[in-house]
A and B are shown apart, each in its own frame.
Chain A
Amino acid sequence: MRSLVVLVLMSATAHADPLDLFGFGAEAAGQAGARTASATGAEAAHYDPAAVALAERPTVLVGWGAAAMRLSIDGRDADVLDAHGTSLGLAVPIHDGDWTYAGAIGLYLPDQFLARIHLIPPTEPHFVLLDNDPHRVVVEPIAAASYRGRFAIGGGASILADASSRQIVFDVGIVAGQKVGEAALDIELPVRAAPLLGVWMRPHDRVRLAATYRGQLSLDLRLDILANVQVAGVVTGDALVSIRAANYFTPARAQAGVAIDVADDLTVAADLAWQRWSAFGSGLPDLRVLVALDLTPPLVSTQNPPARFTDTIETRLGAEYRRAGDKTDLALRAGAAYLPSPVPPQTGLTSFADGDRTLLTLGAGLTFAHWQPYLTRPLSIDLAIGWQHVAPRLTKKDVTSFPGEAFSSDGEILQASLSSTIHF
Chain B
Amino acid sequence: MGLLRHAGVAWITIGVAAATAHASPVEIFGFGPRHGALAGAGVASTDDFAALYYNPAGLALGTGESATIGVQGAFSNLSIDDRVIDLEDPAGVVLGFTAPAPLGGPLENRLRVGVALYLLPTTIARVSARFPQEPFFPWYQGRTERDVIVPGAALRVSDRITVGLAVNFLAGVVGGLEASEGAQRSLVARVDEKVPSVARVHAGIDLELTDRLRAGLVYRQRFEVPFSTLAKTEVAGEPIDLDLHASGQFTPDELAIGGAWHDRVTTISVDAQWSRWSAYPGPFVTVESELPLVGPLAASIPTVPYRDTWAGRAGVETRVGEAILRGGYAFETSPFPKTQTGVTNLLDGPKHTVGLGVGFVFERSRIDVGVQAQFVGSRRTTKTIYTGDGSDYDPFTSLRDEDSNTDGAQISNPGYPSIDSGGQVFSGGVAIEVPL
Contact = CB atoms under 8 A, between A and B. Distances in A.
Nearest to A227: B291
Contact of A109 (B9, B18, B285): B9
Contacts of A8: 186-187
A175 B10 contact: no
Given A92-B97, A241-B231, A175 B177 contact: no
B188 A229 contact: no
A232 to B, nearest CB: 11
Residue from A86, A179, A231, A234 whose CB has the most chain B CB atoms within 10 Å = A86
Contacts of A422: 101-102
B126 A161 contact: no
B84 interface: no
A178 B97 CA distance: 57
B134 A184 contact: yes
Contacts of A159: 13-16
B246 to A, nearest CB: 6
Contact of A176 (B185, B192, B299, B390): B390
A379 B102 CA distance: 9
A187 interface: yes
Contact of A300 (B102, B121, B185, B300): B185
Contacts of A109: 6, 9-10, 197
Given A137-B12, A227-B289, A234-B293, A7 B186 contact: yes
Interface stretch (A31-39, A286-294, A355-363): A286-294
B175 interface: yes
A185 interface: yes
Contacts of A113: 194-197
A302 B300 contact: no
Given A183-B131, A183-B299, A170 B289 contact: yes
B85 interface: no
Nearest to B197: A114
B192 A181 contact: no
B297 interface: yes
Interface residues of B, number: 96
Given A109-B10, A141-B15, A185-B244, A119 B189 contact: yes
Interface string A237-254: 001010101000000000
B97 A299 contact: no
A300 B100 CA distance: 64
A46 to B, nearest CB: 13
Interface in B1-27: 2-3, 6-7, 9-19
Nearest to A231: B294
B67 A92 contact: yes
B322 interface: no
B16 to A, nearest CB: 6
B201 interface: no
Nearest to A296: B236
Contacts of B108: 373, 376
A27 to B, nearest CB: 18
Interface in A23-64: 58, 62
B167 interface: no
Most chain A CB neighbours (cut-off 10 Å) among B108, B123, B195: B195
A406 interface: no
B132 interface: yes
A294 B235 CA distance: 12
Contact of A107 (B11, B122, B125, B244): B11
A176 B14 CA distance: 49
Contacts of B394: none
A258 to B, nearest CB: 30
B299 A227 contact: no
B240 A376 contact: no
Contact of B179 (A9, A139, A184, A300): A9
A170 B299 contact: yes
A90 B97 CA distance: 10
B103 A376 contact: yes
Contacts of A182: 131-133, 299-300
B287 A139 contact: no
A181 B287 contact: yes
Chain A contact residues, majority secondary structure: strand
Interface stretch (A188-196, A202-210, A272-280, A383-391): A188-196
A206 B402 CA distance: 83
A5 interface: yes
Interface in B161-196: 171, 173, 175, 177, 179, 181-182, 184-196
Contacts of A114: 9, 12, 171, 195-197
A184 B18 CA distance: 11
Contacts of A190: 17, 122-124
B10 A289 contact: no
Contacts of B193: 116-117, 163, 221
A172 interface: yes
A109 B11 CA distance: 10
B354 interface: no
A189 B173 contact: yes
A309 B232 CA distance: 32
Contacts of A381: none
B124 A191 contact: yes
Contact of B13 (A139, A241, A379): A139
Contacts of A121: 182, 188-190
Interface of A: 5, 7-9, 11, 58, 62, 85-86, 88, 90, 92-94, 103, 105, 107-109, 113-121, 137, 139, 141, 157, 159-161, 163, 166, 168, 170-172, 175-191, 221, 223, 225, 227, 229, 231, 234-235, 239, 241, 243, 245, 285, 287, 289, 291, 293-302, 372-377, 379, 422-424
Given A114-B12, A299-B181, A422-B102, 5 more contacts: A183-B285, A184-B131, A187-B17, A295-B292, A373-B108
Q: Which 4 A-B pairs have the closest CB atoms?
A: A188-B17, A297-B236, A107-B10, A186-B128
9 contacts: A86-B3, A118-B192, A139-B12, A186-B129, A188-B145, A223-B229, A225-B231, A285-B191, A294-B293
Interface of B: 2-3, 6-7, 9-19, 65, 67, 97, 99-105, 107-108, 115, 121-134, 145, 171, 173, 175, 177, 179, 181-182, 184-197, 227, 229, 231, 233, 235-236, 238, 240, 242, 244, 246, 248, 284-287, 289, 291-294, 297-300, 390, 400-402, 404, 434, 436
